Amino acid sequence: MERFRTIIEPFRIKSVEPIRLTTVEEREAKLRAAGYNLFNLRAADVLIDLLTDSGTGAMSAEQWAGIQRGDESYAGSPSWFRFLDAVTDLWPFRHVIPTHQGRAAEKILFSVIGGPGKVIPSNTHFDTTRANVEFTGAEAVDLVIPEGREPATIHPFKGNMDTDALDALIRARGAENVPVVFVTVTNNSGGGQPVSLTNLRAVREVCDRHGIPLFLDACRFAENAWFIREREDGYAAVAVPDIVREMASLADGMTMSGKKDALANIGGWLALNDDRWAEQCRNLLILTEGFPTYGGLAGRDLEAMAAGLREVVDEDYLRYRIRSTAYLGEALVAAGVPCVQPIGGHAVYLDAAALLPHIAALEYPGQALACALYREGGIRGCEIGTVMFGMRPDGSEVAAPMELVRLAIPRRVYTQSHIDYVIEVIRWVAERASALRGMRIVEQPSALRHFTARFEPIQ
Ligand SMILES: *Cc1c(COP(=O)(O)O)cnc(C)c1O
């Protein structure tokens, strides 16, 4: 196979979902009715849906077979033990606590270890992680390396944590106020950029020096392991599951969304070594999620994750996954469309500020671009810029550091011709970028406005 360059989808398709072709006029009408907010669209009116890679993947025949096999016993179901074996084969932590999705694991963990006066450092907290930390009264601090904040800077491990800044933070605040250090792999909010094992070891050293446990937000652990294999010295010949186990050996626990690298549509877990924390977390779990052998899930969901965990570390899958995301990004870069670089694992981020310099930040270039991609080609992405981050708690507005449109790639869903179409649409829009106008908000809630705000184009 090495003789041929084309990287094919390492699967064939035996169940299809039709997507409905629409016209520009239809989509313009849908946009207007949705208040130019793509979250308000009906999914059936979207041609290629790149809003998120969370829970939107296609399951395999093995996963569907597992769903049929799912055992719904309240306690001690065989499905639970198959799930537990699959998790601990990669992540041999002493305790595994299933939850209905990643944020439930975060909620339970931070309820136990957070609280006022505490500070939780991470390379970059994902938004639900930050929200769950802050909800307890604790402070969430992002300490990614400086390169991780610069869209155009190329670095093989842009998700790495700044270990000097971590050490300084712990000294300044006191180790007793830092219950845990988190590292997100890959760094979702930072562009899906990976973290190296060298960096994880360095973070571990800082943690050991201060007696603080290290946890991974491991949502995209397999994509991260693939980047380590491709980019880190000494790992080119190491099997992906062994790289994952090495990541696990450096950590004391993890939170996980099964909607990402467990290739499932729902699910998650918390895993950890500390017996006392685990007992407290299980007590909370029973209160809000369910009995410890099912969490907030059906037995069939546990089966889907168990099968997904075996498939996600397959080299053919990962090569296809990472290459197909890069295929989209590299084609856009070659066409002169500004993107966050290097291309991350699960998404391509368009730099709307660079593409639309004539639109001021407070006229939402990312929103204008996202709407244009839908109008012209039926593609749904997600603004990550001033609409999402620009409103202060007092209601005033400030420009976000970056104006991005994220195109997240669902796992095993779209083929290369779908992506070729996406490339063509984006090039079409980019060539006409100077004609795009900014947007104004006509209605918005007081928090998390990107989900429900209504806009209109500025004439
Ligand atoms: C999706 C995600 C979460 C939260 O998981 P949910 O299953 O959506 O609750 C946490 N961290 C990261 C990095 C994520 O991508």
Question: 256 C-alpha to center of ligand 1: Å?
Answer: 7
Question: 255 C-alpha to center of ligand 1: Å?
Answer: 9
What predicted TM-score, i.e. pTM, was given to this entire model?
0.95
Looking at the predicted structure, is the pLDDT value of residue 153 above 60?
yes
Question: 121 C-alpha to center of ligand 1: Å?
Answer: 17
Question: 133 C-alpha to center of ligand 1: Å?
Answer: 14
Instruction: Supply the residue whose CA is at minimum distance from atom 4 of ligand 1.
Output: 102
Best residue among 106, 130, 132, 188 to mutate for probing ligand 1's pocket (most ligand atoms within 8 Å of CB) is: 188
Average pLDDT, the chain: 96
Looking at the predicted structure, is the pLDDT value of residue 1 above 60?
no
Residues with beta carbon inside 6 Å of ligand 1? 54, 101-103, 126, 128-129, 184, 188, 217, 219, 257, 259-260, 268
Q: What is the DSSP letter of 143?
A: -
Confidence of residue 286 (pLDDT cuts 50, 70, 90): very high
Q: H helices then E strands: how many in the chain? A: 16, 14
| pLDDT tens-digit map of 367-377 | 999 999 999 99
Looking at the predicted structure, is the pLDDT value of residue 395 above 90?
no
CB 229 within 8 A of CB 220: no
Report, as an integer, the average pLDDT of 137-151.
93
**Index of the ligand 1 atom closest to the CA of residue 104:** 9
Question: 424 C-alpha to center of ligand 1: Å?
Answer: 30
Best residue among 56, 217, 301 to mutate for probing ligand 1's pocket (most ligand atoms within 8 Å of CB) is: 217
Least confident among 5-14, 18-27, 224-233, 411-420: 5-14
Confidence of residue 26 (pLDDT cuts 50, 70, 90): very high
**Index of the ligand 1 atom closest to the CA of residue 267:** 7
Question: 416 C-alpha to center of ligand 1: Å?
Answer: 27
**Index of the ligand 1 atom closest to the CA of residue 54:** 1
What's the 3-state SS for the chain?
A: CCCCCCCCCCCCCCCCCCCCCCCHHHHHHHHHHCCCCHHHCCHHHCCEECCCCCCCCCCCHHHHHHHHHCCCCCCCCHHHHHHHHHHHHHCCCCEEEEECCHHHHHHHHHHHHCCCCCEEEECCCCHHHHHHHHHCCCEEEECECHHHHCCCCCCCCCCCECHHHHHHHHHHHCHHHCCCEEEECCEHHHCCECCCHHHHHHHHHHHHHHCCCEEEECCCHHHHHHHHHHHCCCCCCCCHHHHHHHHHHCCCEEEEECCCCCCCCCCEEEEECCHHHHHHHHHHHHHHCCCCCCCCCCHHHHHHHHHHHHHHCCHHHHHHHHHHHHHHHHHHHHCCCCECCCCCCCEEEEEHHHHCCCCCHHHCHHHHHHHHHHHHHCEECEEECHHHHCECCCCCECCCCCCEEEEECCCCCCCHHHHHHHHHHHHHHHHCHHHCCCEEEEECCCCCHHHCCEEEECC
Best residue among 110, 128, 193 to mutate for probing ligand 1's pocket (most ligand atoms within 8 Å of CB) is: 128
Distance CA 50, CA 406 (A): 8
Domains and CATH numbers, the chain: 24-53+314-457 (3.90.1150.10), 61-312 (3.40.640.10)
The structure tokens listed for 321 are: 């996954």
Confidence of residue 188 (pLDDT cuts 50, 70, 90): confident
Question: 459 C-alpha to center of ligand 1: Å?
Answer: 38
User: Tell me, what's the pLDDT at 446?
Assistant: 81
Rounded percentage of the chain residues whose pLDDT exceeds 90: 91
Instruction: Supply the residue whose CA is at minimum distance from atom 5 of ligand 1.
Output: 102
Report, as an integer, the average pLDDT of 438-443.
96
User: Tell me, what's the pLDDT at 299?
Assistant: 98
**Index of the ligand 1 atom closest to the CA of residue 268:** 7
Q: Report which of 375, 373, 394 is spatially closest to residue 383, judged by C-alpha positions.
A: 373
Least confident among 50-59, 188-197, 222-231, 410-419: 188-197
What phi and psi values does residue 55 have, to the nearest 5 degrees?
A: 75, 10
For the beta sheet containing 382-384, the strands, ordered from the edge strand earlier in sequence to the opposite edge, are: 347-351, 404-408, 382-384
Q: Report which of 417, 214, 240 is spatially closest to residue 314, judged by C-alpha positions.
A: 240
Question: 128 C-alpha to center of ligand 1: Å?
Answer: 7
**Index of the ligand 1 atom closest to the CA of residue 257:** 7
**Index of the ligand 1 atom closest to the CA of residue 103:** 9
Confidence of residue 3 (pLDDT cuts 50, 70, 90): confident
Report, as an integer, the average pLDDT of 293-317.
97
